[in-house]
A and B are shown apart, each in its own frame.
Chain A
Protein backbone atom coordinates (compact mmCIF):
# COMPACT_ATOMS: atom_id res chain seq x y z
CA UNK A 1 0.00 0.00 0.00
CA UNK A 2 1.58 3.20 -1.13
CA UNK A 3 -0.37 5.71 0.87
CA UNK A 4 0.63 4.53 4.39
CA UNK A 5 4.28 4.25 3.30
CA UNK A 6 4.24 7.82 2.04
CA UNK A 7 2.69 8.98 5.29
CA UNK A 8 5.30 7.13 7.35
CA UNK A 9 8.21 8.67 5.44
CA UNK A 10 6.66 12.07 5.56
CA UNK A 11 6.10 11.74 9.28
CA UNK A 12 9.69 10.64 9.86
CA UNK A 13 10.85 13.74 8.08
CA UNK A 14 8.59 15.84 10.25
CA UNK A 15 9.83 14.08 13.38
CA UNK A 16 13.39 14.87 12.29
CA UNK A 17 12.67 18.56 11.86
CA UNK A 18 10.50 18.82 14.99
CA UNK A 19 13.14 16.99 17.07
CA UNK A 20 15.84 19.29 15.76
CA UNK A 21 13.71 22.32 16.52
CA UNK A 22 12.86 21.10 20.02
CA UNK A 23 16.54 20.50 20.68
CA UNK A 24 17.47 23.95 19.49
CA UNK A 25 14.92 25.37 21.89
CA UNK A 26 16.54 23.62 24.86
CA UNK A 27 19.59 25.19 26.45
CA UNK A 28 22.58 23.84 28.33
CA UNK A 29 23.85 25.05 31.69
CA UNK A 30 25.89 28.26 31.80
CA UNK A 31 28.07 29.39 34.69
CA UNK A 32 28.55 33.13 34.97
CA UNK A 33 30.79 35.55 36.85
CA UNK A 34 30.41 39.31 36.97
CA UNK A 35 32.74 41.87 38.50
CA UNK A 36 32.63 45.61 38.94
CA UNK A 37 35.21 48.17 39.93
CA UNK A 38 33.84 51.64 40.57
CA UNK A 39 36.23 54.58 40.46
CA UNK A 40 33.74 57.43 40.64
CA UNK A 41 30.07 58.19 41.10
CA UNK A 42 27.81 58.11 38.08
CA UNK A 43 24.56 59.75 37.11
CA UNK A 44 22.82 60.47 33.87
CA UNK A 45 20.77 63.57 33.26
CA UNK A 46 17.89 64.39 30.96
CA UNK A 47 18.97 64.48 27.33
CA UNK A 48 22.15 62.53 28.03
CA UNK A 49 22.90 59.15 26.53
CA UNK A 50 25.37 56.28 26.49
CA UNK A 51 27.30 54.78 23.59
CA UNK A 52 28.46 51.19 23.66
CA UNK A 53 31.49 50.69 21.45
CA UNK A 54 33.87 47.88 20.57
CA UNK A 55 37.58 48.20 19.96
CA UNK A 56 38.36 47.61 16.31
CA UNK A 57 42.09 48.22 16.14
CA UNK A 58 43.18 44.72 17.10
CA UNK A 59 44.31 42.11 14.64
CA UNK A 60 42.76 39.30 16.70
CA UNK A 61 40.01 38.86 19.24
CA UNK A 62 37.75 41.63 18.00
CA UNK A 63 34.45 41.78 19.85
CA UNK A 64 31.58 40.44 17.79
CA UNK A 65 29.21 43.10 16.40
CA UNK A 66 26.16 41.18 17.56
CA UNK A 67 27.42 41.22 21.16
CA UNK A 68 27.69 45.01 21.09
CA UNK A 69 24.26 45.24 19.48
CA UNK A 70 22.82 42.85 22.06
CA UNK A 71 24.23 44.89 24.96
CA UNK A 72 23.05 48.17 23.42
CA UNK A 73 19.53 46.83 22.84
CA UNK A 74 19.32 45.31 26.31
CA UNK A 75 20.55 48.44 28.08
CA UNK A 76 18.02 50.42 26.08
CA UNK A 77 15.06 48.23 27.06
CA UNK A 78 13.38 46.63 30.06
CA UNK A 79 13.63 47.72 33.68
CA UNK A 80 16.03 50.61 34.23
CA UNK A 81 16.41 51.25 30.50
CA UNK A 82 18.98 53.89 29.63
CA UNK A 83 19.06 56.12 26.55
CA UNK A 84 21.48 54.70 24.00
CA UNK A 85 23.07 56.18 20.92
CA UNK A 86 24.11 53.40 18.55
CA UNK A 87 27.78 52.82 17.84
CA UNK A 88 27.30 53.59 14.15
CA UNK A 89 25.44 56.84 14.82
CA UNK A 90 28.18 57.94 17.21
CA UNK A 91 31.18 57.13 14.99
CA UNK A 92 29.43 58.74 12.01
CA UNK A 93 28.64 61.88 14.03
CA UNK A 94 32.22 62.18 15.23
CA UNK A 95 33.96 61.02 12.04
CA UNK A 96 36.95 60.65 11.78
CA UNK A 97 37.84 60.78 15.49
CA UNK A 98 36.54 57.39 16.63
CA UNK A 99 37.59 55.23 13.70
CA UNK A 100 39.52 51.96 14.23
CA UNK A 101 42.88 53.71 13.68
CA UNK A 102 42.07 57.00 15.35
CA UNK A 103 39.86 56.26 18.37
CA UNK A 104 41.41 57.35 21.67
CA UNK A 105 42.84 54.42 23.61
CA UNK A 106 43.07 56.12 26.99
CA UNK A 107 41.69 59.09 28.89
CA UNK A 108 44.61 61.30 27.91
CA UNK A 109 43.86 60.73 24.23
CA UNK A 110 40.15 61.24 24.83
CA UNK A 111 40.80 64.55 26.56
CA UNK A 112 42.85 65.71 23.56
CA UNK A 113 40.04 64.76 21.21
CA UNK A 114 37.08 66.17 23.12
CA UNK A 115 38.87 69.41 23.89
CA UNK A 116 38.83 70.29 20.21
CA UNK A 117 36.00 72.79 19.78
CA UNK A 118 34.46 71.01 16.78
CA UNK A 119 34.30 67.69 18.62
CA UNK A 120 33.16 69.22 21.89
CA UNK A 121 30.28 70.94 20.12
CA UNK A 122 29.27 67.77 18.29
CA UNK A 123 29.35 65.62 21.42
CA UNK A 124 27.32 68.25 23.20
CA UNK A 125 24.82 68.24 20.32
CA UNK A 126 24.33 64.49 20.39
CA UNK A 127 24.22 64.42 24.20
CA UNK A 128 26.67 61.62 24.85
CA UNK A 129 27.67 61.38 28.51
CA UNK A 130 29.24 57.93 28.83
CA UNK A 131 31.33 55.83 26.45
CA UNK A 132 31.37 52.15 27.28
CA UNK A 133 34.27 50.40 25.55
CA UNK A 134 33.73 46.67 25.30
CA UNK A 135 36.52 44.20 24.68
CA UNK A 136 36.47 40.41 24.61
CA UNK A 137 35.08 37.51 22.66
CA UNK A 138 33.27 34.22 22.91
CA UNK A 139 35.46 31.28 22.02
CA UNK A 140 34.64 27.65 21.44
CA UNK A 141 37.07 25.16 22.94
CA UNK A 142 37.47 21.44 23.48
CA UNK A 143 35.35 20.17 20.65
CA UNK A 144 34.98 16.41 20.71
CA UNK A 145 32.95 13.64 19.14
CA UNK A 146 31.44 13.47 15.70
CA UNK A 147 28.09 13.61 14.04
CA UNK A 148 27.28 12.04 10.70
CA UNK A 149 24.15 12.78 8.79
CA UNK A 150 22.87 11.22 5.62
CA UNK A 151 19.75 10.46 3.64
CA UNK A 152 18.65 6.86 3.69
CA UNK A 153 17.09 5.28 0.68
CA UNK A 154 13.59 6.63 0.63
CA UNK A 155 14.89 10.13 1.32
CA UNK A 156 14.67 9.94 5.11
CA UNK A 157 17.28 12.12 6.82
CA UNK A 158 19.10 10.66 9.80
CA UNK A 159 22.04 11.61 12.00
CA UNK A 160 24.13 9.47 14.35
CA UNK A 161 26.81 10.32 16.85
CA UNK A 162 27.59 12.61 19.74
CA UNK A 163 29.19 15.99 19.53
CA UNK A 164 30.15 18.27 22.37
CA UNK A 165 32.06 21.48 22.86
CA UNK A 166 32.74 24.05 25.51
CA UNK A 167 32.23 27.75 24.99
CA UNK A 168 33.51 30.59 27.07
CA UNK A 169 32.63 34.28 26.93
CA UNK A 170 34.93 36.81 28.50
CA UNK A 171 34.03 40.48 28.12
CA UNK A 172 35.26 43.62 29.83
CA UNK A 173 33.82 47.11 29.67
CA UNK A 174 35.51 50.37 30.57
CA UNK A 175 33.10 53.21 31.31
CA UNK A 176 34.34 56.69 30.40
CA UNK A 177 32.62 59.84 31.56
CA UNK A 178 32.95 62.24 28.65
CA UNK A 179 31.82 65.26 30.65
CA UNK A 180 34.35 64.81 33.43
CA UNK A 181 37.04 63.24 31.19
CA UNK A 182 37.68 60.28 33.44
CA UNK A 183 37.26 56.54 33.72
CA UNK A 184 34.45 55.90 36.17
CA UNK A 185 34.69 52.13 36.33
CA UNK A 186 35.27 48.78 34.73
CA UNK A 187 32.88 45.87 34.46
CA UNK A 188 33.42 42.30 33.43
CA UNK A 189 31.12 39.48 32.46
CA UNK A 190 32.26 35.90 32.04
CA UNK A 191 30.18 32.90 31.07
CA UNK A 192 31.07 29.30 30.33
CA UNK A 193 29.07 26.28 29.36
CA UNK A 194 29.08 22.95 27.58
CA UNK A 195 26.90 22.25 24.57
CA UNK A 196 26.20 18.82 23.18
CA UNK A 197 24.32 17.18 20.34
CA UNK A 198 23.35 13.54 20.82
CA UNK A 199 21.87 12.01 17.70
CA UNK A 200 20.15 8.71 17.15
CA UNK A 201 18.36 9.41 13.88
CA UNK A 202 17.18 12.78 15.25
CA UNK A 203 19.87 15.18 16.48
CA UNK A 204 18.90 16.97 19.68
CA UNK A 205 21.17 19.98 20.12
CA UNK A 206 21.43 21.26 23.68
CA UNK A 207 23.24 24.55 23.34
CA UNK A 208 24.79 26.49 26.20
CA UNK A 209 24.02 30.07 25.24
CA UNK A 210 27.04 31.65 26.85
CA UNK A 211 27.19 34.80 24.74
CA UNK A 212 23.53 35.58 25.35
CA UNK A 213 24.08 35.11 29.09
CA UNK A 214 27.21 37.28 29.06
CA UNK A 215 25.25 39.94 27.17
CA UNK A 216 22.37 39.86 29.67
CA UNK A 217 24.75 40.13 32.61
CA UNK A 218 26.82 42.90 31.05
CA UNK A 219 23.67 44.88 30.19
CA UNK A 220 22.32 44.60 33.73
CA UNK A 221 25.69 45.60 35.13
CA UNK A 222 25.81 48.70 32.95
CA UNK A 223 22.31 49.71 34.02
CA UNK A 224 23.00 49.29 37.72
CA UNK A 225 26.44 50.89 37.38
CA UNK A 226 25.08 54.04 35.78
CA UNK A 227 22.00 54.01 38.03
CA UNK A 228 23.34 52.73 41.39
CA UNK A 229 19.93 53.30 42.99
CA UNK A 230 18.33 50.78 40.65
CA UNK A 231 17.38 47.57 42.52
CA UNK A 232 19.16 44.44 41.38
CA UNK A 233 17.71 43.54 37.99
CA UNK A 234 18.03 39.79 38.20
CA UNK A 235 17.36 37.39 40.99
CA UNK A 236 20.44 35.43 42.00
CA UNK A 237 20.62 32.08 40.26
CA UNK A 238 20.38 28.93 42.25
Chain B
Protein backbone atom coordinates (compact mmCIF):
# COMPACT_ATOMS: atom_id res chain seq x y z
CA UNK B 1 0.00 0.00 0.00
CA UNK B 2 1.28 3.46 -0.83
CA UNK B 3 1.64 5.78 2.15
CA UNK B 4 -1.05 8.42 1.98
CA UNK B 5 0.35 10.60 4.66
CA UNK B 6 3.77 11.79 5.57
CA UNK B 7 5.62 14.14 7.78
CA UNK B 8 6.23 17.37 5.83
CA UNK B 9 5.06 15.51 2.71
CA UNK B 10 8.66 15.01 1.56
CA UNK B 11 11.15 12.30 1.77
CA UNK B 12 11.87 8.75 0.91
CA UNK B 13 10.35 7.51 4.14
CA UNK B 14 6.64 8.06 4.22
CA UNK B 15 5.05 5.52 6.49
CA UNK B 16 2.00 5.46 8.65
CA UNK B 17 3.89 3.84 11.53
CA UNK B 18 6.33 6.66 11.90
CA UNK B 19 3.67 9.29 12.24
CA UNK B 20 1.78 7.29 14.80
CA UNK B 21 5.02 6.87 16.74
CA UNK B 22 5.65 10.60 16.53
CA UNK B 23 2.12 11.24 17.70
CA UNK B 24 2.66 8.95 20.65
CA UNK B 25 5.82 10.79 21.55
CA UNK B 26 3.93 14.03 21.39
CA UNK B 27 1.15 12.79 23.61
CA UNK B 28 3.65 11.59 26.20
CA UNK B 29 5.88 14.61 25.96
CA UNK B 30 6.27 17.02 28.84
CA UNK B 31 4.91 20.49 28.93
CA UNK B 32 8.22 22.22 28.49
CA UNK B 33 7.56 23.59 25.00
CA UNK B 34 5.29 26.32 26.25
CA UNK B 35 3.37 28.15 23.53
CA UNK B 36 4.94 26.06 20.75
CA UNK B 37 3.57 22.85 22.21
CA UNK B 38 0.01 23.65 21.29
CA UNK B 39 0.95 24.55 17.73
CA UNK B 40 3.01 21.42 17.22
CA UNK B 41 0.35 19.25 18.82
CA UNK B 42 -2.23 20.73 16.46
CA UNK B 43 0.06 20.08 13.49
CA UNK B 44 0.51 16.47 14.50
CA UNK B 45 -3.17 16.02 15.16
CA UNK B 46 -3.88 17.34 11.67
CA UNK B 47 -1.35 14.93 10.22
CA UNK B 48 -2.92 12.04 12.07
CA UNK B 49 -6.34 13.14 10.88
CA UNK B 50 -5.01 12.99 7.35
CA UNK B 51 -4.13 9.34 7.84
CA UNK B 52 -7.63 8.24 8.70
CA UNK B 53 -9.58 6.47 5.96
CA UNK B 54 -13.08 7.04 4.74
CA UNK B 55 -14.99 10.14 3.81
CA UNK B 56 -18.50 11.47 3.88
CA UNK B 57 -19.55 14.02 1.31
CA UNK B 58 -22.74 15.74 0.30
CA UNK B 59 -22.71 17.12 -3.20
CA UNK B 60 -25.15 19.92 -3.72
CA UNK B 61 -24.04 21.12 -7.13
CA UNK B 62 -25.56 22.14 -10.38
CA UNK B 63 -24.20 22.55 -13.88
CA UNK B 64 -24.15 25.42 -16.36
CA UNK B 65 -27.00 25.58 -18.84
CA UNK B 66 -25.90 23.54 -21.88
CA UNK B 67 -25.42 25.36 -25.17
CA UNK B 68 -27.64 23.13 -27.31
CA UNK B 69 -30.50 23.73 -29.68
CA UNK B 70 -33.72 22.93 -27.84
CA UNK B 71 -35.98 20.19 -29.15
CA UNK B 72 -39.34 21.66 -30.18
CA UNK B 73 -41.34 19.53 -27.81
CA UNK B 74 -43.21 19.81 -24.55
CA UNK B 75 -41.60 17.32 -22.21
CA UNK B 76 -42.90 16.00 -18.92
CA UNK B 77 -40.19 15.28 -16.40
CA UNK B 78 -40.46 13.09 -13.34
CA UNK B 79 -37.93 12.81 -10.52
CA UNK B 80 -38.82 10.07 -8.05
CA UNK B 81 -37.84 10.08 -4.39
CA UNK B 82 -35.16 7.43 -4.81
CA UNK B 83 -33.36 9.76 -7.23
CA UNK B 84 -33.76 12.86 -5.10
CA UNK B 85 -32.54 11.11 -1.95
CA UNK B 86 -29.80 8.97 -3.44
CA UNK B 87 -26.92 8.13 -1.12
CA UNK B 88 -24.11 5.72 -1.93
CA UNK B 89 -22.52 4.03 1.07
CA UNK B 90 -19.64 1.63 0.85
CA UNK B 91 -17.10 0.15 3.22
CA UNK B 92 -13.72 -0.33 1.59
CA UNK B 93 -11.60 -2.94 3.27
CA UNK B 94 -8.47 -1.28 4.65
CA UNK B 95 -9.65 2.19 3.61
CA UNK B 96 -12.72 2.88 5.73
CA UNK B 97 -16.34 3.82 5.24
CA UNK B 98 -17.42 6.14 2.45
CA UNK B 99 -20.70 7.95 2.06
CA UNK B 100 -21.52 9.95 -1.06
CA UNK B 101 -24.80 11.86 -0.89
CA UNK B 102 -25.74 13.07 -4.37
CA UNK B 103 -29.52 13.23 -4.01
CA UNK B 104 -29.70 16.99 -3.56
CA UNK B 105 -27.90 17.58 -6.87
CA UNK B 106 -30.14 15.48 -9.05
CA UNK B 107 -33.13 17.80 -9.33
CA UNK B 108 -31.11 20.98 -10.08
CA UNK B 109 -28.78 19.22 -12.55
CA UNK B 110 -31.48 17.48 -14.58
CA UNK B 111 -33.80 20.50 -14.48
CA UNK B 112 -31.00 22.72 -15.83
CA UNK B 113 -30.17 20.28 -18.63
CA UNK B 114 -33.77 19.49 -19.61
CA UNK B 115 -34.65 23.18 -19.61
CA UNK B 116 -31.99 23.72 -22.26
CA UNK B 117 -32.80 20.53 -24.19
CA UNK B 118 -36.55 20.99 -24.57
CA UNK B 119 -38.58 23.99 -25.58
CA UNK B 120 -41.09 23.38 -22.81
CA UNK B 121 -40.67 21.44 -19.59
CA UNK B 122 -43.54 20.26 -17.39
CA UNK B 123 -42.98 18.62 -13.99
CA UNK B 124 -45.21 15.55 -13.70
CA UNK B 125 -45.80 12.69 -11.30
CA UNK B 126 -47.57 9.35 -11.63
CA UNK B 127 -51.27 9.48 -10.95
CA UNK B 128 -52.38 7.29 -8.06
CA UNK B 129 -53.46 3.74 -8.96
CA UNK B 130 -57.19 4.48 -8.95
CA UNK B 131 -56.77 7.37 -11.36
CA UNK B 132 -54.35 5.29 -13.41
CA UNK B 133 -56.84 2.45 -13.86
CA UNK B 134 -59.41 4.77 -15.40
CA UNK B 135 -59.26 4.32 -19.13
CA UNK B 136 -56.61 1.56 -18.96
CA UNK B 137 -56.32 -0.61 -22.08
CA UNK B 138 -57.30 -4.26 -22.01
CA UNK B 139 -54.37 -5.50 -24.14
CA UNK B 140 -52.83 -8.08 -21.80
CA UNK B 141 -49.53 -8.39 -23.74
CA UNK B 142 -48.56 -4.73 -23.79
CA UNK B 143 -47.40 -3.13 -20.56
CA UNK B 144 -50.01 -0.78 -19.23
CA UNK B 145 -49.25 2.87 -19.84
CA UNK B 146 -48.45 4.96 -16.82
CA UNK B 147 -50.71 7.91 -16.33
CA UNK B 148 -48.95 11.07 -15.28
CA UNK B 149 -50.49 14.22 -13.92
CA UNK B 150 -49.10 17.67 -13.32
CA UNK B 151 -47.80 18.42 -9.84
CA UNK B 152 -51.01 20.40 -9.29
CA UNK B 153 -53.11 17.36 -10.28
CA UNK B 154 -53.94 18.68 -13.75
CA UNK B 155 -53.66 16.59 -16.90
CA UNK B 156 -50.81 18.15 -18.87
CA UNK B 157 -50.55 17.79 -22.62
CA UNK B 158 -47.00 16.70 -23.27
CA UNK B 159 -45.20 15.09 -26.21
CA UNK B 160 -43.21 12.79 -23.99
CA UNK B 161 -42.07 12.08 -20.47
CA UNK B 162 -38.56 11.47 -19.22
CA UNK B 163 -37.78 9.95 -15.83
CA UNK B 164 -34.14 9.58 -14.76
CA UNK B 165 -33.02 7.13 -12.10
CA UNK B 166 -29.65 6.10 -10.71
CA UNK B 167 -28.67 2.51 -11.39
CA UNK B 168 -25.38 2.46 -9.57
CA UNK B 169 -22.57 4.60 -8.17
CA UNK B 170 -18.97 3.43 -8.03
CA UNK B 171 -15.83 5.17 -6.92
CA UNK B 172 -12.14 4.48 -6.60
CA UNK B 173 -9.38 6.09 -4.60
CA UNK B 174 -5.71 6.33 -5.62
CA UNK B 175 -4.68 3.79 -2.97
CA UNK B 176 -6.78 1.17 -4.72
CA UNK B 177 -5.79 1.91 -8.30
CA UNK B 178 -2.21 3.07 -7.88
CA UNK B 179 -3.06 6.04 -10.09
CA UNK B 180 -3.29 9.76 -9.45
CA UNK B 181 -7.05 10.08 -9.39
CA UNK B 182 -10.08 9.87 -7.18
CA UNK B 183 -12.72 8.60 -9.58
CA UNK B 184 -16.50 8.46 -9.49
CA UNK B 185 -18.92 6.80 -11.90
CA UNK B 186 -22.65 7.45 -11.79
CA UNK B 187 -24.74 5.13 -13.92
CA UNK B 188 -28.17 6.45 -14.86
CA UNK B 189 -31.13 5.04 -16.69
CA UNK B 190 -33.54 7.49 -18.28
CA UNK B 191 -36.99 6.01 -18.90
CA UNK B 192 -38.56 7.46 -22.04
CA UNK B 193 -42.33 7.52 -22.38
CA UNK B 194 -44.59 9.03 -24.98
CA UNK B 195 -47.27 11.55 -24.15
CA UNK B 196 -49.70 8.74 -23.35
CA UNK B 197 -47.37 7.18 -20.77
CA UNK B 198 -46.25 4.28 -22.99
CA UNK B 199 -42.63 3.34 -22.51
CA UNK B 200 -40.73 3.59 -25.79
CA UNK B 201 -37.17 3.16 -24.63
CA UNK B 202 -34.40 3.72 -22.16
CA UNK B 203 -31.34 5.90 -22.40
CA UNK B 204 -28.40 4.56 -20.40
CA UNK B 205 -26.06 7.31 -19.27
CA UNK B 206 -22.78 7.16 -17.39
CA UNK B 207 -21.16 10.18 -15.82
CA UNK B 208 -17.47 9.90 -15.00
CA UNK B 209 -15.50 12.32 -12.91
CA UNK B 210 -11.98 12.37 -11.59
CA UNK B 211 -9.93 14.57 -9.31
CA UNK B 212 -6.17 14.61 -9.44
CA UNK B 213 -4.80 13.97 -5.97
CA UNK B 214 -1.91 16.29 -6.81
CA UNK B 215 -4.35 19.18 -6.70
CA UNK B 216 -5.02 18.55 -3.04
CA UNK B 217 -2.72 18.69 -0.06
CA UNK B 218 -1.38 15.56 1.55
CA UNK B 219 -3.55 16.01 4.60
CA UNK B 220 -7.26 15.40 4.72
CA UNK B 221 -7.51 15.34 0.94
CA UNK B 222 -10.11 12.59 0.56
CA UNK B 223 -13.20 14.65 1.24
CA UNK B 224 -12.52 17.57 -1.14
CA UNK B 225 -11.07 15.26 -3.79
CA UNK B 226 -14.08 12.93 -3.76
CA UNK B 227 -16.38 15.94 -3.77
CA UNK B 228 -14.65 17.30 -6.85
CA UNK B 229 -14.67 13.93 -8.62
CA UNK B 230 -18.40 13.55 -7.92
CA UNK B 231 -19.13 17.06 -9.15
CA UNK B 232 -17.25 16.29 -12.38
CA UNK B 233 -19.22 13.04 -12.74
CA UNK B 234 -22.48 14.97 -12.52
CA UNK B 235 -21.17 17.49 -15.02
CA UNK B 236 -20.05 14.73 -17.36
CA UNK B 237 -23.46 13.06 -17.19
CA UNK B 238 -25.11 16.39 -17.98
CA UNK B 239 -22.75 16.93 -20.93
CA UNK B 240 -23.33 13.44 -22.30
CA UNK B 241 -27.08 13.77 -21.93
CA UNK B 242 -27.24 17.07 -23.76
CA UNK B 243 -24.91 15.79 -26.49
CA UNK B 244 -26.18 12.26 -27.09
CA UNK B 245 -29.90 12.34 -26.42
CA UNK B 246 -30.87 13.14 -30.01
CA UNK B 247 -28.63 10.35 -31.36
CA UNK B 248 -30.61 7.55 -29.70
CA UNK B 249 -32.58 5.49 -32.20
CA UNK B 250 -35.67 5.40 -29.98
CA UNK B 251 -35.49 9.17 -29.51
CA UNK B 252 -35.26 9.76 -33.25
CA UNK B 253 -38.31 7.54 -33.84
CA UNK B 254 -40.21 9.39 -31.15
CA UNK B 255 -39.23 12.77 -32.61
CA UNK B 256 -40.48 11.64 -36.02
CA UNK B 257 -43.71 10.43 -34.44
CA UNK B 258 -44.38 13.82 -32.85
CA UNK B 259 -43.43 15.65 -36.04
CA UNK B 260 -40.12 17.11 -34.92
CA UNK B 261 -37.11 16.94 -37.17
CA UNK B 262 -34.48 14.76 -35.41
Contacts and interface: CB of A to CB of B under 8 A. Distances in A.
Contacts of B65: 95
B33 A119 contact: no
A13 B66 contact: no
B63 A60 contact: no
Contacts of B210: 56, 100
A163 B12 contact: yes
B11 interface: yes
B42 to A, nearest CB: 13
A147 to B, nearest CB: 5
A95 B26 contact: no
Nearest to A102: B239
A96 B243 contact: yes
B30 A155 contact: yes
Interface in A48-88: 56, 59-60, 62, 64-66
A165 B13 CA distance: 12
A208 to B, nearest CB: 12
Contacts of B253: none
Contact of B243 (A102, A118, A144, A145): A102
Contacts of B35: 10
Given A154-B30, A154-B32, A96 B12 contact: no
B69 A118 contact: yes
Contact of B37 (A60, A101, A155, A195): A155
Interface in A89-111: 92-97, 99-102
B11 A143 contact: yes
B234 to A, nearest CB: 12
Interface in B28-60: 29-37, 40
A46 to B, nearest CB: 25
A146 interface: yes
Contacts of A146: 11-13
B196 interface: no
A94 B25 contact: no
A112 to B, nearest CB: 13
Contacts of B32: 5-6, 9-10, 154-156
B241 to A, nearest CB: 9
B34 A10 contact: yes
A155 B29 contact: yes
A95 B11 contact: no
Given A10-B34, A149-B22, A96 B13 contact: no
Contacts of B153: none
B36 A17 contact: yes
Contact of A100 (B18, B36, B40, B236): B236
Nearest to B239: A96
B105 interface: no
B14 to A, nearest CB: 10
B10 A197 contact: yes
B33 A163 contact: no
A163 B11 contact: yes
A14 B32 CA distance: 12
Contacts of A101: 208, 236, 239-240
A150 B242 contact: no
B82 interface: no
A157 interface: yes
B68 interface: yes
Task: Identify the 10 closest CB pairs spanning chains A and B, nearest first.
Answer: A96-B239, A95-B64, A155-B29, A13-B36, A9-B32, A143-B12, A92-B64, A155-B33, A151-B25, A65-B215
Given A96-B240, A137-B214, A195-B10, 18 more contacts: A60-B180, A65-B215, A95-B66, A95-B67, A95-B235, A95-B238, A96-B66, A96-B67, A99-B235, A100-B210, A101-B240, A143-B11, A144-B12, A145-B12, A146-B13, A150-B22, A151-B29, A197-B11
28 contacts: A9-B33, A10-B32, A13-B33, A13-B36, A60-B179, A60-B180, A65-B212, A93-B64, A95-B67, A96-B66, A96-B68, A96-B235, A96-B242, A96-B243, A99-B239, A101-B239, A102-B239, A144-B12, A146-B13, A151-B26, A151-B29, A155-B30, A155-B32, A155-B37, A165-B10, A195-B10, A205-B8, A205-B10
Interface of B: 7-8, 10-13, 18, 22, 25-26, 29-37, 40, 63-69, 179-181, 208, 210, 212, 214-215, 232, 235-236, 238-240, 242-243
